[in-house]
A and B are shown apart, each in its own frame.
Chain A
């Protein structure tokens, strides 16, 4: 029996479609390995904080300790890797096995598809990073938030999570090997090359993230030369976000069809 059902309302269903897109992304991203890796990365700063706190007065200045750990374990490691996993897994898996076509052959605007997934990846990576920062700060400094370090970094890593997610989402849509490319970006572009060529600091998401801490805490004021200012970082990240949405939406328009031979 053929039942003709009433078709579309004419406008996209923003909320419901966002939920659907997120659920599909979740399903393609989550795996035991990813869960394990994520938990490990988030626990690492907490473990260090526990060790620090356990040594009591021997440990030294909590601010110094926190800044170093936040920089190395969260800003340089947990946040980018989480954003990478969350930002690239869904789209790259869907491109690989062809299920992306089920998203594209709908009237839902392309930019909405990219934006929803980007904000989900960034929000989740940012929120989890912020949680770890706050937790480590609470443990190591007994909740005192010295020099505003913990709160500054809580904000900064959330911002960093979203910025990283913007970059990595567009990688997931346009690059053949997005996971490896993202890791190379973190390792070489933000790591080795920035050390050699100071100018690259202005094009490095990690530096933007650290720049956001500047107005919020005095703890890092000393060792800063040739790094971007907070307003620059905010503007740059905004530009990255808009560019990512634009480029990602265009990638969805031009589906690269595989030559399946028929």
Chain B
């Protein structure tokens, strides 16, 4: 027979639950850095399951392999087959655009769908900070994607040459155009992709919007070519992919047949229009991003 036991000690409740953190805190700078790092990792699918890595790996493979191929051809032919940067970029640009179109929505639309915004904005982070850091991560990722094959070409060209030092003296300055073009291409494509991602919460629609816009601009530019009375520069500058292609041809001094017939506008015009276009897209995206509410 058991007797009901009475409490023999005075009752007490021990608070073992939520504990506050009283140590030093990082502040806004650390918050921005952390968000930037997280964004960059997410864009390349690092720390995510294999499915998230599919597109980054695919794009990197499809851009790097042709570069390796060109290097192999150049090496096997002992320098008879020149490495043409502008041709290479011409084919790769659409892939860079694809990367941006597919991954930027992963980041921005994903924030909205997974309701990360309340989590982020109630920390030491303002809406402006959030917008800036997210866009910066997208731009940086695109710079890396655009730079990788070009750097491979550059380093490889020097590496496979019989006389690396002489080759470096002759084409070493190529590094300038390589960096400039990659940065500019990333600027424009990141602006476009970011803008599309802020306009809708569904990832597929944002990707389709980016690619669709590029398609439309390409078609419009092609159409404008035939119409007389349109300034010749307009079709060249309207379509960002086409403008970047022509700019590459100019920067690397590999003019195409069409360019010899109808000389394109000078480099500064291209640079200015691309910078302006990217800035416009960024500006529009900014207005949307700044108004996000937790």
Q: In the complex, A touching B, CB below 8 Å?
A: yes
A residues whose Cβ falls under 8 Å from a Cβ of B: 33, 37, 40-41, 44, 48, 51-52, 55, 58-60, 65, 68-69, 72-73, 76-77, 81, 84, 92, 177-180, 183, 186-187, 192
Tell whether B222 is near chain A: CB-to-CB under 8 Å: yes
User: Total A-B residue pairs with C-beta atoms closer than 8 Å?
Assistant: 62
Residues of B within 8 Å of A68, CB to CB, are: 223, 226
User: Which residues of chain B from 222 to 255 have any CB-CB distance to chain A below 8 Å in the complex?
Assistant: 222-223, 226-229
CB pair A33–B229 under 8 Å, yes or no, is no
CB pair A58–B208 under 8 Å, yes or no, is no
User: Which residues of chain B from 198 to 242 have any CB-CB distance to chain A below 8 Å in the complex?
Assistant: 199-200, 204-205, 207-209, 211-212, 215-216, 219-220, 222-223, 226-229
Residues of A within 8 Å of B228, CB to CB, are: 55, 58-60
- Docked pose: A37 CA to B220 CA in angstroms: 15
CB pair A72–B222 under 8 Å, yes or no, is yes
CB pair A180–B204 under 8 Å, yes or no, is yes
Tell whether B102 is near chain A: CB-to-CB under 8 Å: yes
Whole-angstrom distance between the Cβ of B291 and the nearest chain A Cβ: 17
Q: Which residue among B204, B207, B209, B229 has the maximum number of chain A CB atoms within 10 Å of its CB? A: B204
Tell whether B166 is near chain A: CB-to-CB under 8 Å: no
Q: Is the interface of B mostly helix, strand, loop or mixed?
A: helix
Cross-interface CB contact of A92 among B94, B200, B204, B227, cutoff 8 Å: B204
CB pair B94–A187 under 8 Å, yes or no, is yes
- Docked pose: A177 CA to B102 CA in angstroms: 11
Residues of A within 8 Å of B212, CB to CB, are: 37, 81, 183
Whole-angstrom distance between the Cβ of B97 and the nearest chain A Cβ: 10
Cross-interface CB contact of A179 among B199, B208, B227, B229, cutoff 8 Å: B208
Residue in chain B with minimal CB distance to A186: B215
- Docked pose: A177 CA to B55 CA in angstroms: 12
Top-6 shortest CB links A-B: A179-B204, A179-B208, A183-B211, A72-B219, A77-B219, A180-B207
User: Which residues of chain B from 65 to 105 have any CB-CB distance to chain A below 8 Å in the complex?
Assistant: 94, 102
Whole-angstrom distance between the Cβ of B209 and the nearest chain A Cβ: 7
8 residue pairs of the A-B complex, CB under 8 angstroms, read A40-B216, A60-B226, A68-B223, A68-B226, A178-B204, A180-B211, A183-B211, A187-B215
Residues of A within 8 Å of B227, CB to CB, are: 48, 51-52, 55, 59
- Docked pose: A60 CA to B225 CA in angstroms: 13
Whole-angstrom distance between the Cβ of A126 and the nearest chain B Cβ: 19
- Docked pose: A92 CA to B208 CA in angstroms: 14
- Docked pose: A100 CA to B229 CA in angstroms: 53
Residue in chain B with minimal CB distance to A181: B204
- Docked pose: A132 CA to B291 CA in angstroms: 37
CB pair A41–B216 under 8 Å, yes or no, is yes
Residue in chain A with minimal CB distance to B227: A51
- Docked pose: A59 CA to B208 CA in angstroms: 34
CB pair B229–A44 under 8 Å, yes or no, is no
CB pair A180–B205 under 8 Å, yes or no, is no
Residues of A within 8 Å of B200, CB to CB, are: 33
| In the complex with contacts A33-B199, A55-B228, A68-B226, A179-B219 CB distance below 8 A | no
Whole-angstrom distance between the Cβ of B198 and the nearest chain A Cβ: 12
- Docked pose: A69 CA to B224 CA in angstroms: 10
CB pair B223–A180 under 8 Å, yes or no, is no
- Docked pose: A69 CA to B221 CA in angstroms: 11
Whole-angstrom distance between the Cβ of B281 and the nearest chain A Cβ: 16
Cross-interface CB contact of B205 among A69, A77, A179, cutoff 8 Å: A179
CB pair A72–B208 under 8 Å, yes or no, is no
| In the complex with contacts A72-B219, A183-B212, A177-B204 CB distance below 8 A | yes
Residue in chain A with minimal CB distance to B105: A180
Whole-angstrom distance between the Cβ of A62 and the nearest chain B Cβ: 11
Residues of A within 8 Å of B223, CB to CB, are: 48, 68-69, 72-73
Cross-interface CB contact of A55 among B204, B207, B229, cutoff 8 Å: B229
CB pair B219–A76 under 8 Å, yes or no, is yes
Q: Given A44-B219, A48-B223, A179-B205, 16 other A-B contacts at CB below 8 A?
A: A33-B200, A37-B209, A37-B212, A41-B216, A69-B223, A72-B223, A73-B219, A77-B216, A81-B212, A81-B215, A178-B204, A179-B204, A179-B207, A180-B102, A187-B94, A187-B215
Whole-angstrom distance between the Cβ of B69 and the nearest chain A Cβ: 15
- Docked pose: A33 CA to B205 CA in angstroms: 9
Residue in chain A with minimal CB distance to B228: A58
Chain B window 135-161, contacts with chain A (Cβ cutoff 8 Å), 1 for yes, 0 for no: 000000000000000000000000000
